């Protein structure tokens, strides 16, 4: 590399990056949040259909959940995590690749959007799943059964969505040149 090329590179690295217009950044944030909200809605519709809800039995002492049913409760959380991790990883990467006028704002929007999607999916899945067995079996005879609600019982399941979305974002950001200018994208190591 010649002295002139080295000097040009140093000047380029020292010049502050031009900030994108606020309108573009706001549009990126709205697109990211909107896509994640729709994804959360879709996962919320699919999720209760993939799990086999826990069966609850009415006893003299109240409602009883058997040991086998407890494994199904884990299945409910497991499907929520698997669906969320997959969707968040893919969307985190795609949205960061597509909408990144400001990388920092994009990464924050992806994390917030994934968290929003997790809550939307849990709420929609809960609403579309079976009704609360407490109200269904309130006046039922002993031995009657009903399906339990589909719900996220492990709070950590909500954190999988933003973490995987951030992994997708970071893979894209570390794997591609920044959009700070044409010189940054055409530099070739000699």
Q: What is the DSSP string of 75-109?
A: HHHHHHHHHHHHHHHHHHHHHHHHS-SSHHHHHHH
Domain count of the fold of the chain: 1
On whether residue 132 sits in a domain, the answer given is yes
**Span 59-118, pLDDT tens digits:** 666 665 666 666 666 788 899 999 999 999 999 999 999 988 889 999 999 999 999 999
State the pTM of this model: 0.76
Percent of the chain with pLDDT over 70: 64
User: Cα separations (Å) of 111 from 89, 163, 171?
Assistant: 11, 7, 14
> CB-based contacts of 139: which residues, under 8 Å, 6+ apart?
none
Q: What is the mean pLDDT of the chain?
A: 81
Structural domain boundaries enclosing 170 = 41-178
Give pLDDT, residue 34. 97
pLDDT attached to residue 175 = 86
User: How far, in Å, CA of 1 to CA of 189, rounded?
Assistant: 9
Radius of gyration of the chain (CA): 24
**Residue 188 resides in a domain:** no
In a domain, 121, yes or no: yes
């Amino acid at each position: 590399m010649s002295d002139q090329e080295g000097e040009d590179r140093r000047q380029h690295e020292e010049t502050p990056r031009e900030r994108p217009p606020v309108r573009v950044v706001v549009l990126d944030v709205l697109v990211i949040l909107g896509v994640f909200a729709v994804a959360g809605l879709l996962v919320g519709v699919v999720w209760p259909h993939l799990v086999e809800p826990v069966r609850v039995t009415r006893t003299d002492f109240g409602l009883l959940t058997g040991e086998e049913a407890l494994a199904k409760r884990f299945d409910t959380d497991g499907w929520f995590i698997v669906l969320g991790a997959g969707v968040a990883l893919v969307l985190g990467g795609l949205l960061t690749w597509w909408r990144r006028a400001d990388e920092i704002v994009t990464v924050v929007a992806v994390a917030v959007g994934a968290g929003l999607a997790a809550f939307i999916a849990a709420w929609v899945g809960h609403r579309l799943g079976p009704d609360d067995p407490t109200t269904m079996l309130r006046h039922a005879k002993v031995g009657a059964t009903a399906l339990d609600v589909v719900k996220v019982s492990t709070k950590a399941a909500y954190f999988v969505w933003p973490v995987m979305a951030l992994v997708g974002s970071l893979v894209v950001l570390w794997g591609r040149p920044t959009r700070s200018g044409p010189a940054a994208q055409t530099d070739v190591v000699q």
